[in-house]
A and B are shown apart, each in its own frame.
Chain A
Amino acid sequence: MAPIRRLLAGLKALIRGHRVEQELDEELRAYVETSVEAKIRAGMKRDDAVRAAQIQSGSFEAVKDRVRDVGWESVVETAWRDVRYAARMLRRHPIWTATATLSLAVGIGLNAAVFSVVDWVLLRPLPYPASHELVHIFTAGRAPVTGPSGVTHEEFVTFSRAATVRQAIGFSNTTRILSGGAIEPVHVMVSRVVGDFFATFGVHPDVGRPFGQEEMAAGMPVVVLGHELWQRSFVADPQVVGRTVLIDGAPHTIIGVMPAGRGYPRDAEVWRPLTPAERASDDRDLSMVARLGSGVTSATASVELGTLAQAVSNDIRTAWVDEVRRTDVGSIKASLQALFAAAMLTLLIACANVAALVGAKNGDRIGEVAIRGALGASPGRIFRQLITESLMLAIAGGLLGLLFGRWALSALVAMAPVSVPRLTEISLDGRILAIGLVSTGVDRPGCRPRTGTSASRRDANVGAKPVGMASYDAAAARPSRVSAGTSRRGGRSGEWCWTSHSQSLPARDPQSRLRSGSAHRCPCISAATIQRRRAAAPSRAGRRERECSWCRGSCFFNAAPDAGIGSTYVSERGQRR
């Protein structure tokens, strides 16, 4: 029951936040005023009573912060306040924000795109069941020594019967003209196959049926269409089976459609059985892929096939196997690895760029952080604010990086050879995008230890050197100056800080006031004349937001609610404009 009550109370506080805050403020005022009256009744002078009550009650802001922290909704409110503050900060520095965001976008996007390609091509298994069993079979001359080559049909038959081989296919690609019926004549890559294609790769046609044993044995004029060709030229017609197409003028019957992305070799668009005439050729133009028996290693198969090759060739030739997964990416593996290293380097450079940008900007924020610390913000609170800013920037960079990454991925895929496995399946990898976001998000606070927590531990006077600090007399609504050194974060010297209560100062240009010496210096830059930012509307926190006319609205103040226009305050935040 209690958790539900707390949840409801939190929701109520979120909805009635302004009113709750006002009530708390009123309650604390009543507390202090009652305390002052009690002390006066006990014989103290009013000033002494006020001071004693103030010391006894402590900092209003600190008390209010502790009360606010009681409910879970304070986390939501704080986070929302941080987000708004961070958004304001980013908006005020558009060039800085754009530069940092673009740097991150390029780093994150490029990295995500390249990693996606590397992941799909190099790291993931081939899209066939037990793909580690699939091997390429190569032959080569021993005397004289020749380079790797394909197999003859005779060698294919011999190797297919090896004990270590479960199923095998041989294929030879050639470009032919496909025409017939309602389709436009088109050049297609035709793969002439021998062996049990579908059993070897463990796939089944999307539409229709696989080649029958008799069709393969007789080399009958039947074809299986590639998935893309089926979609492109046959408008993905499910009734395509049984239709006749012409390959170089010879009629062939369509019996099936290859599943998307599963055809092999990947650049083939039509598969048909090897004809008896083609089998009779002694050319080594058949590429052979075999599925090894369960538990058979490549080394074992290589030994057996090598022995067989030597036996059928009178010790002139040898044979060996290599995993299809390796041979397929062999030519582009090094390129991809180099590209990935370059992308990682780009991300590092982007992070370094952003860190340098942040570092350059941090010089202006030491005063802000120090004064926020003096006003009661804990190092954790300041750190959360910095983290929020970093996350906002990282999210902006990430979103832009997502767009950039999609574009970069499309470009990479378009440039890649057709033989690259899983090319049609590659999509942007969300994991690397998230890693990029997180790494760049936490990168910034880590680059600013001086303005993070250490600056908050510094004397507020560092940030507000030219100004004094004053305590606030709640009862008399007038400041009583104390030395700057007495004010500390969470201290008892008062929650309001200002330099003078100068209602009578003329509202003229702060620069001229600075020159004439009538204005005190602003801790964020040089001068601070305070004007109302909004029509005396107190913020949710019960404070009034005021702006420094010198800083043009960059400063926000913990201003006394009933202090008038023209008062000069120590600003909480300042930015050179």
Chain B
Amino acid sequence: MTTDVKPSGLVQGTLHMLILKTLTLEPLHGYGIGVRLEQISRGAFQVNAGSLFPALRRLERDGLISGEWQVTENNRRAKYYSLTPSGRAQLRRETRDWEAQTTAIARILRASLGEL
């Protein structure tokens, strides 16, 4: 499934959270983040450049990630993004909120007829 990530609403917030999560292990460049998201979601999410780069710019501006130019394994210059302490804290908050939301939604969806 290809995500057509829209600039507003839950999807946008989710993309930010997912990017933060992919960077918890190690710094990655733009393409690496997209591939990592696709791998972890087992192909469910394919984030194109038009969604990925604006999200990276926004996160960097908010101080949640920081970018640094490095050389890739193929001897090519690329901008590697890493989580900042603020980003790590933000990820914790968003994960907590997300879990609370999904739990509540799941509870509603699983409600029996009697409970409704």
- A→B interface (CB under 8 Å): 2, 5-6, 9, 23-24, 26-28, 30-31, 33-35, 37-38, 56-58, 62-63, 66-67, 69-71
Question: Contacts A27-B79, A33-B76 given: A57-B57 contact, CB under 8 Å?
Answer: no
Name the residue on B nearest A35 (C-beta): B31
In the complex, whether B62 has a CB less than 8 A from a CB of chain A is yes
**Most B CB within 10 A of own CB, among A56, A66, A71:** A66
Does A6 lie within 8 Å of B61, measured CB to CB? yes
CA distance A327 to B62 in the complex (A): 68
Decide: A5 and B62 in contact? CB cutoff 8 A. Answer: yes
Q: Are B78 and A66 in contact (CB under 8 A)?
A: no
Residue in A34, A56, A62 whose beta carbon sits within 8 Å of that of B74 in the complex: A34
B98 close to A (CB within 8 Å):
no
Indicate if the CB atoms of B76 and A34 lie closer than 8 Å: yes
Q: What B residues does A23 contact at CB under 8 A?
A: 69, 79
State whether the Cβ of B77 lies closer than 8 Å to any Cβ in chain A. Answer: yes
Which one, A30, A38, A70, contacts B29 given CB within 8 A?
Answer: A30
The reply to whether B30 and A27 contact each other, CB–CB distance below 8 Å, is yes
**A36 CB, nearest partner CB in chain B, Å:** 10
Chain A residues with Cβ under 8 A from B77's Cβ?
26, 30
Determine the main DSSP class of A at the interface with B.
helix
Q: 18 extra interchain contacts, Cβ-Cβ under 8 A, other than A28-B53, A34-B72? A: A2-B63, A23-B69, A26-B79, A27-B30, A28-B49, A30-B29, A30-B30, A30-B72, A30-B76, A30-B79, A31-B53, A34-B74, A34-B78, A56-B49, A57-B50, A63-B53, A66-B54, A71-B57
Given contacts A5-B63, A70-B54, contact A57 B49 (CB under 8 A): yes
Contact of A9 among B50, B61, B74 (CB under 8 A): B61
Q: How many angstroms between the C-alpha atoms of A34 and B71 in the bound complex?
A: 12
Contact B50 A62 (CB under 8 A): yes
Residues on A with C-beta less than 8 A from B61 are 5-6, 9, 70-71
Across the interface, which residues of B come within 8 angstroms of A56, CB to CB?
48-49
| Whole-angstrom distance between the Cβ of A23 and the nearest chain B Cβ | 7
Q: Which residues of chain B come closer than 8 Å to A62, judged between CB atoms?
A: 50
Docked-complex contact A58 and B50, CB < 8 angstroms: yes
Q: Choose among A2, A34, A37, A67 the residue that contacts B57 (Cβ–Cβ < 8 A).
A: A67
Decide yes or no whether B58 CB sits under 8 A from chain A. yes
Q: Closest residue to A72 on the B side, CB-wise?
A: B61
Q: For the complex formed, measure the closest distance between the CB of B4 and the CB atoms of chain A, giving whole angstroms.
A: 12
Closest CB pairs A-B (n = 9): A34-B31, A57-B49, A70-B57, A30-B78, A9-B61, A66-B54, A31-B31, A67-B53, A63-B49
Number of interface residues of B (CB under 8 A): 22
Number of A-B contacts (CB under 8 A): 69
**In chain A, what residue has the closest Cβ to B72?**
A34
Query: Would B50 and A27 count as touching, CB distance under 8 A?
Result: no
Q: Contact: A58 with B63, CB < 8 Å?
A: no
Complex interface: chain A residues within 8 A of B49 (CB): 28, 31, 56-58, 63
B78 → chain A, closest Cβ, in Å?
Answer: 4
On chain A, the residues within 8 Å of B32 by CB distance are 34
- In the bound complex, residues from chain A placing their C-beta under 8 Å from that of B54 are 66-67, 69-70
Q: How far is the CA of A23 from the CA of B54 in the complex (A)?
A: 14
A2 to B63, CA, bound (A): 8
Smallest distance from the beta carbon of B55 to chain A beta carbons, Å? 9
Q: Chain B contacts of A24 at CB under 8 A?
A: 53
A-B contact pairs, 11 of them (CB 8 A): A26-B79, A27-B79, A28-B53, A30-B31, A30-B76, A30-B78, A34-B29, A57-B50, A58-B49, A62-B50, A67-B57
Q: In the bound complex, do residue A66 and residue B62 qualify as a contact, i.e. CB atoms below 8 Å apart?
A: no
- A24→B49 CA distance, assembly (Å): 12
Task: Report the minimal beta-carbon distance from B60 to chain A, rounded to whole angstroms.
Answer: 8
User: In the complex the two chains form, is B53's CB within 8 Å of A27's CB?
Assistant: yes
When distances are taken between beta carbons in the complex, the residues of chain A under 8 Å from B31 are 30-31, 34-35, 38
Q: Mark B48-88, 1 if CB is under 8 A from A, else 0.
A: 11100110011001110000010010101111000000000
Which chain A residues lie closer than 8 Å to B76 at the CB level?
Answer: 30, 33-34
Contacts of B50 in A (CB 8 A): 57-58, 62-63, 66
- B residues in contact with A9, CB < 8 Å: 61
Chain B: CB-nearest residue to A13: B61
Task: Please report the C-alpha to C-alpha distance between residue A28 and residue B50 in the assembled complex, in whole angstroms.
Answer: 10
Give chain A residues whose Cβ lies under 8 Å from the Cβ of B53. Answer: 24, 27-28, 31, 63, 66-67
Question: In the bound complex, what is the Cα–Cα distance between A38 and B72 (angstroms)?
Answer: 13
Question: Please, which residue of chain B has its CB at the minimum distance from the CB of A1?
Answer: B63
Interface string of B95-107 (1 = CB under 8 A from A): 0000000000000
**A69–B31 CA distance with the chains assembled, in angstroms:** 21
Q: A28-B49, A57-B49, A66-B53 are in contact. Are A37 and B62 (CB under 8 A)?
A: no
Q: Once the chains are docked, how many angstroms separate the CA of A58 from the CA of B48? A: 8
Whether A57 contacts B48 in the complex (CB less than 8 A), given A6-B61, A34-B72, comes out as yes
